[in-house]
Homo-oligomer: A and B are copies of this chain.
């Protein structure tokens, strides 16, 4: 039951598109990610997913619209909804989602990381 300093945690990794787990509660996990470039289209069959922008600007593409998220803004992507995050410059994100959420959904791509690390 120790405190978690987010700036410190973000300093522990550099890889893009590779979320790191920093906490777990009620079957959900809190993760940090650094992203840059275009991710792949995917959805999560059974899991809603929260993105909170800690730094930078993230464009979240949906099939019918695009939402631009700046620092201090969040969005909840409901289960089953196709989405694709795009970051022109590096973006730091805090994620909340159920423990077993696969970050590329059911899509297997070169970006898929099977076992996420705790930091």
Contacts and interface: CB of A to CB of B under 8 A. Distances in A.
A96 B4 contact: no
A78 B1 contact: yes
A74 B6 contact: yes
9 contacts: A3-B69, A3-B75, A4-B74, A4-B75, A5-B73, A6-B73, A25-B50, A26-B47, A26-B97
B2 A75 contact: yes
Contacts of A47: 26
B2 A98 contact: no
Contact of A26 (B48, B74, B81): B48
A109 interface: no
Nearest to A25: B48
A76 interface: yes
A23 B28 CA distance: 15
Contacts of A25: 48-50, 76, 78, 96-97
Q: Which of A3, A26, A67 has the most CB of B within 10 A?
A: A26
Contact of A67 (B3, B6, B24, B49): B3
A55 to B, nearest CB: 11
A70 B71 CA distance: 19
